[in-house]
A and B are shown apart, each in its own frame.
Chain A
Amino acid sequence: MTDMAIRIASMNKYYGEFHALKNINLEVAKGQKVVICGPSGSGKSTLIRCINRLEEHRSGIIEVNGIELNDNVDNIDEIRREAGMVFQNFNLFPHMTVLENCTLAPILARKIDRAEAEATGMQYLERVKIPEQAHKYPGELSGGQQQRVAIARALCMAPEIMLFDEPTSALDPEMISEVLDVMVGLAKDGMTMVCVTHEMGFARQVADRVIFMADGEIIEQAAPGDFFDNPQNERTKAFLSQIVGH
């Protein structure tokens, strides 16, 4: 086994003719927390969506926990079970209760029996502080609550890596902190995390490394202290001044 949770080497991704990701090299060690930021259209979402094959890369290598991501469907399913994902728009299943959302994949994909899956589900719902909503439908919950359910749902699969794709961007401002609190808690427990986010406070607090992307390339990566206080690249400086300016 390797100590690398994620290894991406010379990876390229195209949408038709459009070169969306250019020669991406990225390694994330187990337990590391990486924050990816950059202007919109820079390819950050595409990058983490390539890690669990929601997008298909054209060339290069992607390995998750030493499993290579290729056309082998078993590998893809295995990687998806190892890497939980939280989306910008929550994507909870509206026709199932909160608890059913949490137990569906463990029961079907991990073949865990229902009672055990429900116990685990309740445990994670408690961890994200909404066990009392277990039997409600997602449509009855606020955005912040839905996103916390989405995190619990991903955790129920006992993933080794969590991918966050702008988890707070669709939330009303007053709900952002309740989601970030859960994410900080996860980070403290040693989860390997890759987060696409513009929450720079969160990046400073938990990230081991901040990655700046623009036009499909990784422009700069550094520890948060260096990244924020002493950015090297002009584009990083311009981006940071815009974010801080707000």
Chain B
Amino acid sequence: MAHADQNIGSLQPSALMHIKQRYFATRFDTVITLICAALAAWVLWGLINWALLDATFGANRGDVCREDLHGGACWSVVATRWRIVLFGLYPFEEQWRSAIACLVMVFVAVLSCVPWFWSAKRLPILWIAGFAIFYVLMRGGWFGLVEVTEQNWGGLSLTIFIFAAVSLLGMPLAIIFALLRRSKLPWIARTMALVIDTIRSLPLLSIMFTFAIVLPFVLPGWAIGDKLYRVIVGYALFFACYQAEIIRGGMQALPAGQEEAAQALGLGYWHRIGYIILPQAFRNALPPTINQFVITFKETSLVTIIGFFDVMASGRAASGTADWNFATIEMYVFVALIFFVFVFSLSRYGAYLERRLGVGRR
């Protein structure tokens, strides 16, 4: 009887009961709980003190920060130098273009969350249009906009540009790679497998280096192009090899009957791929695909090595002057926050997609 009562109690505990059972069940539990709570409070208090209570806000207050005895955060560096982080060396009077361009890409990303755009036609059109607007705004030279060459692009807008270009170029490439990898002709499938495995076993950094530095010696003059685009092509190739294997995994998870049913209905190869195989393969491969996008966004920072000022390098540059060299941590926190906003929303969107696409599935 007593046992039964206990069961009922544990099924619907009050909040207090719940806390007691979970965290203060034995004397040992109590000690551990108190120690952890104290540690957490101490860290949190230190953080709040540093980031808020003792911190210096407002633009151009570097001198105040220097003389600050409490050692709080100097957010003044962000308030003063944020433009460098967002726009890099982009000319000051033209930075509104860079800002709008970034907003357009963010808007495109938000729009692609709307189910109406989820079709093999609309989604590519949306992205290509968004990307074109972004490019025209950034580059200028048309519609009376002053031309700003790629050498002067930087900061967050460069990061977004590289990410969008790599995705836009890499995704169709990945689909082609995955299809070739599955080809019925053994020599095509094996060659593709060799290419994919080779590129995957090279570090991204060395691929970027090769495309930026080595390629100009090898390629004919007309094919060299700007260093930025060579790096993007190299990165897109790298992305495509990983993503191709993800898509192939999604395809292999499909029962053979799906393709057979489509064949039996008289659907041709491209119809089978476009309407039956790929939509289901992408659905199967959604979690690793989102993961791949997250990694790709974060690894754009590697372009620093070849002399581009992405958001990360711009952050370092922004706090790299003699006036602000004491405030590197604050700058990194700001950059980290930017990354967090992008990557976290990407992850949450992925989770939403998974729930949504689960509809109608067995």
Q: How many residues on chain B are close to A (CB under 8 Å)?
A: 22
Q: Does A47 contact B (CB under 8 A)?
A: no
Decide: A54 and B260 in contact? CB cutoff 8 A: yes
Q: Does A29 contact B (CB under 8 A)?
A: no
Decide: A81 and B260 in contact? CB cutoff 8 A: no
Decide: B276 and A91 in contact? CB cutoff 8 A: no
Q: Does B271 contact A (CB under 8 A)?
A: yes
- CB contacts (< 8 Å) of A92 on chain B: these are 261
- CB contacts (< 8 Å) of B361 on chain A: these are 94, 137, 139
- A: contact size bracket: 20 to 34
Kindly identify, within residues 215 to 234 of chain A, every residue whose CB is under 8 Å from any CB belonging to chain B.
none
Decide: B266 and A104 in contact? CB cutoff 8 A: no
Contacts A94-B280, A95-B279 hold; do A109 and B360 have CB atoms under 8 A apart? Answer: no
Kindly identify, within residues 267 to 288 of chain B, every residue whose CB is under 8 Å from any CB belonging to chain A.
267-268, 271, 275-276, 279-280, 283
- CB contacts (< 8 Å) of A154 on chain B: these are 264-265
- CB contacts (< 8 Å) of A54 on chain B: these are 260, 263-264
Contacts A108-B267, A154-B265 hold; do A87 and B359 have CB atoms under 8 A apart? Answer: no
- CB contacts (< 8 Å) of A140 on chain B: these are 360
Decide: A94 and B263 in contact? CB cutoff 8 A: no
Decide: B260 and A95 in contact? CB cutoff 8 A: no
Residue among B258, B266, B279 making CB contact with A157, cutoff 8 Å: B266
Decide: B280 and A91 in contact? CB cutoff 8 A: no
Q: Does A85 contact B (CB under 8 A)?
A: yes
Q: Does B255 contact A (CB under 8 A)?
A: yes
Decide: A81 and B266 in contact? CB cutoff 8 A: yes
Question: Chain B residue with minimal CB distance to A136?
Answer: B360
Decide: B280 and A109 in contact? CB cutoff 8 A: no
Q: Does A80 contact B (CB under 8 A)?
A: yes
- Residue with the highest number of chain B CB atoms closer than 10 Å, among A87, A89, A95, A109: A95
Contacts A94-B280, A108-B271, A109-B271 hold; do A80 and B264 have CB atoms under 8 A apart? Answer: yes
Decide: B263 and A139 in contact? CB cutoff 8 A: no
Compute how far the CA of A139 lies from the CA of B261 in the bound complex, rounded to whole angstroms: 16
Decide: A89 and B280 in contact? CB cutoff 8 A: no
With both chains docked as a complex, state the minimum distance between the C-beta of B276 and any C-beta of chain A, in angstroms.
6
- CB contacts (< 8 Å) of A108 on chain B: these are 267, 271, 275
Decide: B258 and A91 in contact? CB cutoff 8 A: yes
Q: Does A105 contact B (CB under 8 A)?
A: yes
Q: Does A14 contact B (CB under 8 A)?
A: no
Compute how far the CA of A95 lies from the CA of B271 in the bound complex, rounded to whole angstroms: 15
Contacts A104-B275, A108-B275, A139-B360 hold; do A93 and B266 have CB atoms under 8 A apart? Answer: no
Decide: A80 and B263 in contact? CB cutoff 8 A: yes
Contacts A108-B271, A137-B359, A137-B360 hold; do A93 and B264 have CB atoms under 8 A apart? Answer: no
Decide: A91 and B360 in contact? CB cutoff 8 A: no
Q: Does A77 contact B (CB under 8 A)?
A: yes
Decide: A80 and B266 in contact? CB cutoff 8 A: yes
- CB contacts (< 8 Å) of B257 on chain A: these are 87, 89, 91
- CB contacts (< 8 Å) of B260 on chain A: these are 54, 87, 91
Q: Does A145 contact B (CB under 8 A)?
A: no
Compute how far the CA of A53 lies from the CA of B264 in the bound complex, rounded to whole angstroms: 8
Q: Does B362 contact A (CB under 8 A)?
A: yes
A90-102 near B? 1/0 per residue, CB < 8 Å: 0111110100000
Q: Does A153 contact B (CB under 8 A)?
A: yes
Residue among A94, A109, A153 making CB contact with B268, cutoff 8 Å: A109
B238-260 near A? 1/0 per residue, CB < 8 Å: 00000000000000000101101
Decide: A105 and B263 in contact? CB cutoff 8 A: no
Compute how far the CA of A150 lies from the CA of B279 in the bound complex, rounded to whole angstroms: 20
Q: Does A84 contact B (CB under 8 A)?
A: yes
Compute how far the CA of A150 lies from the CA of B263 in the bound complex, rounded to whole angstroms: 14
With both chains docked as a complex, state the minimum distance between the C-beta of B263 and any C-beta of chain A, in angstroms.
6
Q: Does A52 contact B (CB under 8 A)?
A: yes
Contacts A87-B260, A89-B257, A95-B283 hold; do A77 and B362 have CB atoms under 8 A apart? Answer: no
Residue among A78, A91, A136 making CB contact with B261, cutoff 8 Å: A91
Compute how far the CA of A194 lies from the CA of B268 in the bound complex, rounded to whole angstroms: 24
Question: Chain A residue with minimal CB distance to B362?
Answer: A139
Compute how far the CA of A107 lies from the CA of B262 in the bound complex, rounded to whole angstroms: 13
With both chains docked as a complex, state the minimum distance between the C-beta of A30 and any C-beta of chain B, in angstroms.
20
Contacts A87-B257, A109-B266, A157-B266 hold; do A93 and B276 have CB atoms under 8 A apart? Answer: yes
Compute how far the CA of A157 lies from the CA of B359 in the bound complex, rounded to whole angstroms: 28
A125-150 near B? 1/0 per residue, CB < 8 Å: 00000000000111110000000001
Decide: A105 and B267 in contact? CB cutoff 8 A: yes
> Which of B's residues lie within 8 Å of A, judged by CB?
255, 257-258, 260-268, 271, 275-276, 279-280, 283, 359-362
Given contacts A54-B263, A104-B267, A108-B267, 7 further A-B contacts (CB under 8 A): A52-B263, A78-B266, A84-B264, A95-B280, A139-B360, A150-B261, A154-B265
- Of the A-B pairs whose beta carbons lie under 8 Å apart in the complex, a sample of 10, sorted by A's number, is A54-B260, A78-B266, A80-B264, A84-B264, A87-B264, A94-B360, A104-B265, A104-B267, A105-B267, A109-B266
